[in-house]
């Protein structure tokens, strides 16, 4: 089987004292070139290199476990408004918010972590980048976040800034309980981008990730899998039609898609409701990729012309807002707000039928 190399794209009110706390944070070399000493530097017994701990942040004052959630943005001018809007939907005192940035700045209410790696991990990152292009290298920090975060951050939910969390974050966090031996939770790519010639979809989408950082740090198998992928040795076994093992434009999600084929035990497939993707790249009518039987948990505006949807729904994720956005009809015979008239622009007719068929429940009643 061969994975297709992806082309470049064309274009909560749930506060409860009973809830647990969450941390949220929004030329190829020979495979053995790293050498025993280099691998030992990455993997030392049961602990991998990590920055110093953020003392006192693992638990709340009353001893409840915190949920860590991180928003990820590598741009020089990160989407701070999007992060704050998305974070406001959680409305929980038990969430510890992180901003993962390439260009550090203060963001109110969030612990900012700069995307920086220790030397041995940087070697893997550099070699992964050689197999990528365009924005791909910017995304390739995500599989290496166990070397970015401090050791007291043991599990984390990593979100892109174009997502809208619909259901309680505690329900998404509970997916960690289903991991078994896996260490990365990620949903299928809801398009036919990664379908191989036999019709098998190994594709993943990186917009919502559950990372068991403690397992990732302790896993020699995961460290070796990353080194193996970075080496390019998989060319002949898992290459594309041109015989190349290439990560390309989409970075982490293509890397995870290769892992899904070569090391499936490392990944846990998040149920479809936790990354409902508004992608219209290949089809807007294919129920085999867009339909999801469970209530929508996270809406992901991962298609350029529909990025405006995330901003509107982050500001007000109510079903009234969603209906106006999907139909273009104002409620109670009023005037349609200008922001609804401009979004989604030229793809309006296609978006309306697409969202009505597959995404009508992606809102808060």
Q: Which residue, 133, 121, 140, 164, is CA-closest to 273?
A: 164
pLDDT of residue 70: 96
Q: Which fold has domain 67-272?
A: Spore Coat Polysaccharide Biosynthesis Protein SpsA; Chain A (3.90.550)
Residue with tokens 């700045």: 105
What's the confidence (pLDDT) of residue 197? Answer: 56
CB 295 within 8 A of CB 321: no
pLDDT for 16? 33
Residue 40's pLDDT is 59
> Are 259 and 229 a contacting pair, CB within 8 Å?
yes
Q: What is the DSSP string of 325-360?
A: HHH---GGG-PPPHHHHHSSGGGHHHHHHHHHHH-T
Q: Which residues of 304-332 are buried (b: 16+ CB within 10 A; e: fewer)?
A: ebbbbbbbbbbeebeeebbebbbebeeee
Positive/negative CA dihedral, 186, 190, 194, 198: positive
pLDDT at residue 282 in the model: 67
The Cα 244–Cα 233 span in angstroms is 10
pLDDT attached to residue 97: 95
User: Closest Cα partner for 233 from 91, 28, 74?
Assistant: 28
Along the 365 residues of the chain, how does pLDDT read in single tens digits? 334 444 343 333 233 333 445 556 653 344 444 555 555 566 654 444 555 555 434 554 455 678 999 999 999 999 999 899 999 988 678 899 999 999 999 999 999 999 999 988 999 999 999 999 899 999 999 999 999 999 999 999 999 999 999 999 999 999 999 999 999 999 988 776 666 655 666 788 999 999 999 999 999 999 999 998 888 765 444 444 444 567 888 899 989 988 988 899 999 999 999 999 998 876 676 777 788 999 999 999 988 888 999 999 999 999 999 998 888 777 655 665 677 667 887 788 888 888 999 999 999 98
In the chain, where the domains are located: 67-272, 277-359
Cα-based torsion angle of the residue sequence 189, 155, 84, 205 in order, rounded to the nearest 10 degrees:
-10
* 205: β partners: 187
Check residue 348 and give its pLDDT.
83
Q: Is-contact 155 184, C-beta < 8 A? A: no
CA 218 to chain centre: 22
Chain-centre distance for alpha carbon 9 = 17
Cis-peptide into 344, omega within 30 deg: yes
Residue in the block written with tokens 């980048």: 129
22-25 and 276-277 beta bridge pairing: unpaired
Distance CA 192, CA 283 (A): 8
Q: Where are the beta strands (DSSP E) in 10-94?
A: 22-25, 43-44, 47-48, 67-73
Q: For residues 244 and 235, give the distance between their C-alpha atoms in angstroms, rounded to a whole number.
A: 5
Strand runs labelled E in the chain: 22-25, 43-44, 47-48, 67-73, 95-101, 111-114, 155-160, 163-165, 184-188, 204-212, 267-269, 276-277, 298-300
pLDDT at residue 25 in the model: 61
Token reading at 109 = 């209410």
Could you identify the residue written with the tokens 């064309």?
Answer: 10
């Amino acid at each position: 089987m061969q994975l297709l190399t992806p082309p470049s794209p064309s274009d909560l009110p749930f506060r409860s004292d009973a809830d647990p706390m969450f941390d949220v944070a929004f030329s190829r070399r020979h495979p053995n070139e790293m050498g025993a000493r280099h691998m030992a530097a990455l993997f030392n017994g049961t602990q991998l290199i990590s920055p110093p701990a953020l003392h006192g942040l693992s638990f709340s004052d009353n001893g409840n476990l915190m949920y860590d959630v991180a928003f990820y943005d590598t741009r020089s001018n990160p989407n701070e408004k999007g992060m704050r809007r998305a974070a406001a939907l959680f409305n929980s005192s038990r969430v510890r918010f992180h901003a993962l940035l390439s260009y550090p700045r203060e963001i109110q209410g969030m612990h900012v972590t700069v995307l920086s790696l220790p030397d041995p991990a940087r070697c893997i990152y550099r070699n992964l980048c050689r197999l990528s292009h365009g924005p791909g290298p910017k995304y390739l920090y995500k599989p290496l976040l166990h070397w970015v975060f401090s050791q007291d951050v043991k599990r984390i939910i990593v979100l892109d800034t174009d997502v809208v969390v619909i259901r309680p974050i505690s329900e998404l966090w509970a997916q960690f309980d289903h991991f078994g031996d896996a260490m990365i939770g990620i949903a299928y790519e809801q398009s036919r981008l990664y379908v191989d010639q036999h019709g098998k979809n190994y594709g993943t989408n990186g917009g919502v990730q559950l990372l068991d950082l403690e397992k990732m740090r302790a896993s020699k198998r995961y460290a070796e899998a990353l080194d193996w992928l970075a080496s390019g040795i998989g060319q002949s076994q898992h290459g594309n039609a041109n015989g190349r093992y290439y990560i390309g434009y989409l970075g982490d999600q293509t890397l995870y898609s290769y892992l899904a084929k070569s090391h499936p035990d490392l990944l846990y497939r998040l149920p479809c409701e936790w990354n409902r993707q508004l992608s219209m790249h290949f089809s807007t009518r294919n129920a085999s990729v867009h339909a999801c039987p469970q209530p929508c948990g996270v809406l992901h505006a991962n298609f350029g012309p529909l990025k405006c949807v995330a901003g509107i729904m982050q500001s007000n994720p109510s079903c009234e807002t969603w209906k106006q956005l999907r139909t273009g009809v104002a409620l109670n015979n009023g005037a349609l707000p200008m922001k609804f008239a401009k979004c989604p622009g030229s793809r309006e007719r296609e978006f309306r039928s697409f969202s009505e068929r597959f995404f009508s429940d992606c809102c808060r009643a």
